[in-house]
Amino acid sequence: MVLEEVKWGLIGCGDVTEVKSGPPLQLTPHSSLVAVMRRNGELAKDYAIRHNVPKWYSNGDDLINDPEVNAVYIATPPNAHLEYAIKAMRAGKPVYVEKPMARTYNECLEMIKISNETGTPLFSAYYRRTLPLFTKVKELIDLNSIGTIRLVNIRYYKPPESESETKIASWRYQPEISGGGLLFDLASHTLDFLDFILGPISNVKANALNQGGLYPAEDLVMANWMHDTGVAGTGTWCFTTSDKNNLDEVEIIGNQGKIVFSTFKSNPVVLENWAGREEFLFERPKHVQSFLMEKIVAALRGKGESPSTGITGARTNRVMDEMVKNYYNNKL
């Protein structure tokens, strides 16, 4: 499937699309946003007016069946990803779906199945694969800057959000909507990026707990795994620490040095090896999905490939399913 111009329909024009992902649909060459949908039609209309989008809908089927729309971006909570993705692909329209790709790995597999059956491209929104800070990390590894990679260690500690913030983002704490807790919303970015630079993850062993009792989902996950390349991995994510214990650090250790960086903070990438210590500082782009959107549009025009696809996105869901399965199995 090759498109000369990509004309997007956006399903779920909520907060995440205001700056992060909505504008790139319009700013990328050969790409435009022609229609938006939100179940609250007035909010859809408001978004369309503010972003100069010509059409708005309150029903996803209407947007998918709009003849002017030839590609669909799904930015709803994860429980709606599968339904809309299947409908769009069966209508012959490529799909770009927010992360996590779905609630479960099995839902991801169903989406991939329909993509294969219809020949319709499927992409996932793991945009860190293209952001300059993260491509620098990949470059350093590809240049053998720390020798042979031995292991990677993730530590992410975060205090609980305020009651008002938790209410606003309540779907992120409801497994029936999100698939899990903040592991699915936040850790998915790190796990997907490590898949990109160190190879797919397998042999996952983990404990998931709820220590704070603030919501139904897990709030602490401790895991270890292996990458197919032979690199070992460990990770601890705790979402009920104090402000003083707030930490966002990924450490990649080789036999000749290490690389340290953050997934969400604007900390510099730190390289330590035989040559000493070096820091690389990057400003956070205003529209963080711009770099990935350029590659997706190029792929749809037959002029390149996207590093983030349905297949890669599904692998991250599989890893997270493994990390939390004991917690949810024990709750049944």
Domain assignments of the chain as residue spans, ordered by start:
6-126+288-308, 132-284
Model confidence pLDDT, tens digit, residues 158-202: 999 876 566 556 889 999 999 999 999 999 999 999 999 999 999
Tokens of 314: 């599904």
Cα(311)–Cα(228) distance, integer angstroms: 16
pLDDT band at 332 (very low <50, low <70, confident <90, very high): very low
Pick from 75, 84, 72: which is nearest to 8 by CA? Answer: 72
Q: 3-class SS at 250?
A: strand
Model confidence pLDDT, tens digit, residues 81-140: 999 999 999 999 999 999 999 999 999 999 999 999 999 999 999 999 999 999 999 999
Model confidence pLDDT, tens digit, residues 85-97: 999 999 999 999 9
Specify the pLDDT at position 1. Answer: 80
Q: What is the CATH number of domain 132-284?
A: 3.30.360.10
Instruction: Label residues 179-204 b or e (16+ Cβ within 10 Å = b).
Output: bbbbbbbbbbbbbbbbbbbbebbeeb
Q: What is the CATH number of domain 6-126+288-308?
A: 3.40.50.720
Instruction: Label residues 278-300 b or e (16+ Cβ within 10 Å = b).
Output: eebebeeeebbbbbbbbbbbbbb
> What distance lies between CA 294 and its chain's CA centroid?
16
pLDDT band at 274 (very low <50, low <70, confident <90, very high): very high
What is the pTM for the complete model shown? 0.95
Side chain identity, residue 231? V
Pairing of strands 220-227, 6-11: unpaired
Q: Let me know the angle formed at the C-alpha of 116 by 324 and 30, rounded to the nearest 5 degrees.
A: 100
DSSP 268: P
DSSP 279: E
Q: Let me know the angle formed at the C-alpha of 26 by 88 and 169, rounded to the nearest 5 degrees.
A: 65
Q: 3-class SS at 164?
A: helix
Handedness of CA 284, 201, 83, 96 (dihedral sign): positive
Pairing of strands 31-37, 55-57: parallel
Q: Give CA separation, 235 vs 40, 80, 114, 161, 168, in Å.
A: 39, 29, 33, 21, 28
